[in-house]
Amino acid sequence: ISAEELASILVETCKKYNGLGLSANQVGIKARVFVMGKGDEYISCFNPKIIAESGETVHMAEGCLSFPFLALKITRPAGIVVEYQDWKGESHKANFVGISARCFLHELDHMNGIVYTDKVKPLALQQGLKKRDKIKHLIKKAEKKIDILEAKIK
């Protein structure tokens, strides 16, 4: 599989599940690459690395395609300077701030075997899991109501 094909597969998978980023190892591919973006504006980051981090940090909710409906507050640098290669092998140096920095760091963590659930205290994880379970329960209730309505229509 070519680098272009790999990047394309990751982007299409990310879009399908409404994600902002996806690392190759999340879909069982052993490669040091992830994609990030939204709409039609995605970048592929092969062999990414962080060059510098801002001293300022931001604590905010984060989600992950590997853990549907689980939002956890994670502290991360507000800004980063990074290097990576695109699918053509061209090197890039970039500054990311806000959600772009958070997404880059989140996906880089995936590549390094770290998931965001590892970054919170046990009580915060437990509370997040309870909220997720409530959301799943509400979704199931709504699905049952839809099934009942569809049956009445037929």
To the query of whether residue 107 is one of the catalytic residues in this protein, the response is: yes
From 58, 128, 107, 48, select the one nearest 82 (Cα to Cα): 48
Is 62 within 8 Å of 125 (Cβ atoms)?
no
> Phi-psi category of 28—alpha, beta or left, where left has phi over 0 and alpha has psi -120 to 50?
left
- H or E stretch covering 149: helix 122-153
Determine the 3-state secondary structure of 122 from DSSP: helix
Separation of alpha carbons 103 and 108, rounded Å: 8
Beta-carbon contacts of 147 under 8 Å, excluding residues fewer than 6 positions away, are: none
Task: Spot the catalytic one: 83, 90, 107, 143.
Answer: 107
List the catalytic residues. Answer: 107
